[in-house]
Structure 1
Amino acid sequence: MLSVSVEGYTAKHKENREVYLNWIAPRYFETLGPPLVMGRDFGPLDTMKSPRVAIINQTLARHYFGSRNPIGKRVTIDPDAVKEIIGVVGDAKYLEVREEIPPTMYLDSFQEERPGTEFEIRTAGNPAGVIGAVRHEIETVAKGVPIADVRTLEGQVDASIVQERLIAMLSGFFGGLALLLACIGLHGMMAYTVARRTNEIGIRMALGAERMQVLWMTLREVVLLTLIGIGIGLPLALAVTRLTASLLFGLKPTDPKTIAAAVIVMLAVAAIAGYLPARRASRVDPMVALRHE
């Protein structure tokens, strides 16, 4: 990153004027996808002998130009390298998925000599399947030039979030284990409750209560306990979501759909856990139940 001064912009005292520089070739944006929202791309007329040009991202354009048109304005990069802005491109992330998009300036690699370079190749099929062909082609065109590394974009993204995926897997495992224990606990509690209320159930059925009424009476306790647990646990969970925010990408910790899905799963698990004891209670013989102590 280097500090810049922008034509028509007066920097504030101690303002951070650093921008991220990226040397690219024509059709780079077409290959990777960021849209060119204003101006033009680098072309064959941009050479070592032509005026130096640059393309900026939307973050840089908003910061230094606001609603003004930046095309044609000049940017000076330390030390005294003047570039004319010819285009504005959509914001994109390059280092990691959670990074804040920095003010970025793209420079034409054909206008400046660089000690090394990278090629971005877009394929119609599986990128991993053409790595060998890419290596062979480069070695044929530029014999003796060492190739440092060949990676797919998907592989780079996977490598950048390996820690988050591990944490997600562990969290999912322990979450599932906790759900299983809750299910076993509810089932055991309801079985115990039904055993204690067998006599009461017999009296209700002897007085005309139907099996569905007994089933719902027993199952209702499970649902009520689950709703009480959700009522206590949900506010506590929302209170600690800030601790998990850094582990999420593209999803808010308080995402309504996720919370609704979790509540539905808990209610479904509770209903399943309580169904067998409730079903057993609804099928009890009234005479046997009345003699039960």
Structure 2
Amino acid sequence: MIHILSDAVQRDLFTHGDQFSVDTGAVSILALMCVHISDPVFLVEPILLSLQRLKDHILSAVTSDGLIGNLYSTGLGVQALSVIGHIVPEGSWNCSLSLKRLLDDPSALANPQAASQVTPSLEGRTYLDVGRMDCRRDFSNLTLLEPSEPTPTEVEMPLITVSYNITDGVGGTFSYAIPISVPKGSSLLSVMEKARESRPLNFSFQLKTSLWGAYVTSIRGLRSSSKNRTYWQLLSGDRALEQGIEDYKPSDGEKIIIILSHY
């Protein structure tokens, strides 16, 4: 397994589209370090070469405001760089800045999967600490707030209009657009459901649930395919969305595109 992983690292196979996948690289660092810690002399050369190469890729993805790749890969990136701190050049990465960036954006903890990747670093730990923890000795130090009574009246939110577009960017078999009006603060999923309700033949879709929330697997019967390395990409104009369809909330006048793409 180490040979397979090391070969993939040296051949730069950890990419999503034309960009290095920080998530994949970070998890690989954690896996390699787990093996190295358990047996420091086992395949030491390929492990260290892989760690060096992955470290360089991840450091190249660090932005001036502390993100490592994007908001949702930063939690894993922090863990990875922390466990290989001995080979990270001094001054090449500011851990405190990355943690501050995560704490400044509530989206970093938007769902259980995102929170699970961020929380260890906030505690000064990584996934590699799990084997050394004794959960039986934990104690509860959380003060839970009493649930408040629901407000008797609901405030009606103003409507926004979103340009919703779906495109087969691989085979070119279809491209449709429709203006959709939804209450301000609605999710992208609400926009998709409203479009399907308005024109079901053109805007039908299927979803699959995951720890990151629901994601699109099919539009108009056209399915994404791991065999063909295709997926449904979410865009706002020409900018790729970092949040999923349940978490992202479009703004008035925004152009949302869901396009079948290669990775």
Q: Which protein shows a greater Rg? A: 1
Higher strand fraction (1 or 2): 2
Higher helix fraction (1 or 2): 1
Q: TM-score, normalised by structure 1?
A: 0.17
Q: TM-score, normalised by structure 2?
A: 0.18
